[in-house]
Structure 1
Amino acid sequence: MFPNRRMRRLRRRNIQPLLRETRIAKADLIAPIFVDESIDEPVPIGSMPGQYRHPVGGLAAHVQKLRDAGLRAVILFGIPAQKDDAASEAYAAGGVVQRAVRAIREAVPEMVVCTDLCACEYTEHGHCGIIGETCDGTDLLNDPSLDLMARIAVSQAESGADIVAPSCMLDGMVQAIRTALDAAGYADVLIMSYSTKFASALYGPFRDAADSGYSFGDRSTYQMSPANAREAFRESEIDAAEGADILMVKPAGLYLDVLAALRPLGLPVAAYQVSGEYAQIKAAAQRGWLDEHAVVMESLTCIKRAGADLIITYFAEDAARWLDEEQ
C-alpha cells in the first residue's frame, strides 16, 4: 500500500510549469560592462570568454543591444588611461565612467545605470582607496578613503548614475556616501552597497578584465573572510542602518546561506555572480563537460531561490535570450 500523498503527481511534465516556485525574469538581471578609456574597438577578455572591454565611443550601441534583449540595468566598471595614488580619475568630470554614464543617458535613457564605486581600477597600487601605515603595515586607510568615496559618488551622480555601488568594504562607507549625496542634491540616487563582499579566490578574471590587481599585500583586512557568516550578517546589518537602499552579497554561488540570511533585514538584496563563477562554467562548457545553458539557468534560479532580488551576472545577455526561447 502506498501512502495517500504521492509527491510525483506534482512533477508530471505538464503540471510542473504551473507549480514552479522560483522564476527568473529579465528584470532580475544586471549586466556588468567594462569600459576602457584607451581603446577604440572592443577587446576580448582572455580569462572571460565572450566578455569584452568596450570603448566609450561604442558603449551606446552595446547598451542599446542589451536593452533590445530586454535587460533593464547595467553596472559600469572603468579602466582609465592614467592612474595615480589619489585615484583622481575616479572622480574627474571627464573620467571614463562619468563619460560612459552620460553616453548611456543620452542614447538609452530608460536603462538603469549603476556605477561601481571604488578606487582599485584607478590607483597605481590597486587597493581600494588611500594607503598608509597601519597596525598591519602599509594598508588601506579607512577614514581618508571615506572622503574619496564620497567624492567619487557625487561625481558619478552628477553624470547621471541612478545607483552607486560602493564595493570597498570600508567602515562607515554608506553613511559617508549618503551624507555627501544628500548634501549635493542627489537624495534620489540609490546606494547598492557591496555590504558583504568576501575576500574570495574567485575574483582573478575580474582583475584581469579591469586591470585592478594589487601590487602588494591583499585585501583581507577590509573584505570578509569566507569563514565568517555571523560577521557577514553584521556587515550588512550596519550598512542597512547607515542608509543602504540595496544590500549585496559577492560572490553568489558559494554564499547562498549568507544571501538567505539577509532577507529578514527587509531591504532588497543583490547577488554578484562573479568572474570566477562565470569562467568556471565557460571553461567546462567549452570542454563539453557540462551544458552551459542548463547550468547557467540552474545557477541563476538557485541564487534567486536563496533570496536575491537582483543578480549581477556576466550571463545576463545569454540568459535573456534563453528566457525568450523558453516562452
Structure 2
Amino acid sequence: MENAEFRRHRRLRRTAGIRSSVRETHLRTEDFIYPLFVVEGKNVKNEVASMPGVYHRSLDLLNGEVDEAVERGIQSIILFGLPDEKDDVGSCAYDTNGIVQRATRQIKASHPELTVIADTCLCQFTDHGHCGVVEDGNILNDESLALLAKTAVSQAEAGADIIAPSNMMDGFVSAIRAGLDQAGYEDIPIMSYAVKYASAFYGPFRDAANSSPKSGDRKTYQMDPANRREAFREAQSDVDEGADFLIVKPALSYLDIIRDIRDRHDLPIVAYNVSGEYAMVKAAAQNGWIDEKEVVLEKLTSMKRAGADMILTYFAKDAAAWLNESN
C-alpha cells in the first residue's frame, strides 16, 4: 500500500529474533526470592494441601532443596519457620535456637554466597496468631515493637543477610533499625513489607505457616484493599525510618500500587506473588485450563513491567528452570 496513513507496528513482531531484540522487560533468575517453610522434627516433607509443590521441610531435608534452587540460579531465599511450641508473646521467634535461626546457620554454612532473608514477624510463633502482643483483644502496637526488634537481632546474629519485617505495626522499621544498629548490625538491610494489604489472597499461606488468627482478623494493622493513597503514606514512613527495600503485597491485584511506589521511590521494589495467586494458577493448570509455564512467566513479567526489581514467588524454582531452558 502506497502512502499509507498508518504505522506498521507488526514489522517489529515479524520474527522471534526481532521480538527478542526489542523486548522491553526481562525476567532473570536473580530476580526471584524463593520462600521456604522450615519445621521441627526429622525426615519431614509434607506438602501444603492448598499449595501443590510447596512443602514443610525439616532441617535434615532442607539442604537438598536449597542445593537445587542454587543450581537453577536462584540467589535469594526467604525463611518462614514453624515452631513446635507457641506462647502469647511468640518467644520462639527470638530464641537463639529457634527454627529460623538454626535454618539460617545451616544454609549459610553450606551456601555462604546465598542471600538468606528472614521473615520477621510473630504470627507463626504466637498462640493467638496475631503479629504482635494482644491484650483484651487489642493488638498493642508499641509493646510489640520491642519483641520485633529482638527477633530481628536474633536473626541477624544467626547470619541472616536481610531482615524482612512483615508485621505492619506503626514504627516497626524504626524500632528494628535501632535494634540492629545498637547490636552492631548497621550493615544488615531491612526489606520492609511496606505496603501490605489485608487481602483474601493469603489463605493458603496461613495454612502453610499455621498462622491464622484464633480470633478477630488483621484489618486493624494491614491495609484496606480499597486504598491507594494510604500506600504512599506507608511507604514514605518506612523510607523515612530507614528501610532499604520496599515490598508490595499482594502483587497481581496490586500492580497499580507497584507502579505508584516505583514512581515515588528509588529504593528496590519487591513484588510478593502471594499464596492465593499461586494456588489459583496451580488449580487451573492441574485441571488443564491453562498452560502453567506461559501463564506464570507472563504474570511474573507483568510484575517486572509494573516496576518491581525483585519478585518473591513460590514459582521461583520452576520459573528459574523455564528461563534456563530458553537460554
Which residue in the other structure is 1:195 paired with?
194
How far apart, CA to CA, are the structure 2 residues paired with 1:221 and 1:41?
35
- Percent same amino acid at aligned positions? 54
Cα pair 1:248 1:271 within 8 Å, conserved: yes
How far apart, CA to CA, are the structure 2 residues paired with 1:200 and 1:147?
26
> What is the CA-CA distance between 1:41 and the residue it aligns to?
2.2
Instruction: Output one character per residue of 1:9-34: Cα deviation in whole Å (capped at 9) or x when no partner.
Output: 11112310000000000110000000
> What is the CA-CA distance between 1:4 and the residue it aligns to?
5.5
> What is the CA-CA distance between 1:59 and the residue it aligns to?
1.4
> What is the CA-CA distance between 1:143 and the residue it aligns to?
0.1
Which residue in the other structure is 2:112 paired with?
109
> Helix, strand or coil: the match of 2:215?
coil
How far apart, CA to CA, are the structure 2 residues paired with 1:235 and 1:36?
32
Instruction: Output one character per residue of 1:49-82: Cα deviation in whole Å (capped at 9) or x when no partner.
Output: 0110110122122111110111000000000010
Amino acid at match of 1:324: N
How far apart, CA to CA, are the structure 2 residues paired with 1:32 and 1:257?
24
How far apart, CA to CA, are the structure 1 residues paired with 2:265 and 2:198?
23
Amino acid at match of 2:61: G
Cα pair 2:282 2:292 within 8 Å, conserved: yes
Cα pair 1:33 1:77 within 8 Å, conserved: yes
Cα pair 2:42 2:60 within 8 Å, conserved: no
How far apart, CA to CA, are the structure 2 residues paired with 1:305 and 1:249?
14
More moved, 39-48 vs 282-291: 39-48
2:14 matches 1:33: no
TM-score by length of 1: 0.97
2:87 matches 1:84: yes
Which residue in the other structure is 1:319 paired with?
319
Unaligned runs of 5+ in 2: none
How far apart, CA to CA, are the structure 1 residues paired with 2:182 and 2:200?
38
Which residue in the other structure is 1:305 paired with?
305
Cα pair 1:278 1:314 within 8 Å, conserved: yes
> Helix, strand or coil: the match of 1:209?
helix
Cα pair 2:270 2:309 within 8 Å, conserved: yes
Amino acid at match of 2:96: A
How far apart, CA to CA, are the structure 2 residues paired with 1:73 and 1:219?
28
> What is the CA-CA distance between 1:139 and the residue it aligns to?
2.1
> Helix, strand or coil: the match of 1:270?
strand
> What is the CA-CA distance between 1:39 and the residue it aligns to?
4.7
Alignment of 1:17-166 (within 5 A): 17-133=20-136, 138-166=137-165
2:8 matches 1:9: no
> What is the CA-CA distance between 1:40 and the residue it aligns to?
2.4
Which residue in the other structure is 1:292 paired with?
292
Unaligned runs of 5+ in 1: none
- Deviation beyond 3 Å, 4+ runs, structure 1: none
Cα pair 1:90 1:119 within 8 Å, conserved: yes
> Helix, strand or coil: the match of 1:74?
strand
Cα pair 1:73 1:111 within 8 Å, conserved: yes
Cα pair 1:271 1:312 within 8 Å, conserved: yes
How far apart, CA to CA, are the structure 2 residues paired with 1:230 and 1:39?
47
Amino acid at match of 2:121: C
Cα pair 1:246 1:270 within 8 Å, conserved: yes
Which residue in the other structure is 1:213 paired with?
212
How far apart, CA to CA, are the structure 2 residues paired with 1:254 and 1:43?
29
Amino acid at match of 2:12: L
Amino acid at match of 1:228: N
How far apart, CA to CA, are the structure 1 residues paired with 2:303 and 2:60?
34
Cα pair 1:60 1:108 within 8 Å, conserved: no
Cα pair 1:85 1:123 within 8 Å, conserved: yes
> Helix, strand or coil: the match of 2:207?
helix
Aligned CA RMSD, in angstroms, stands at 0.9
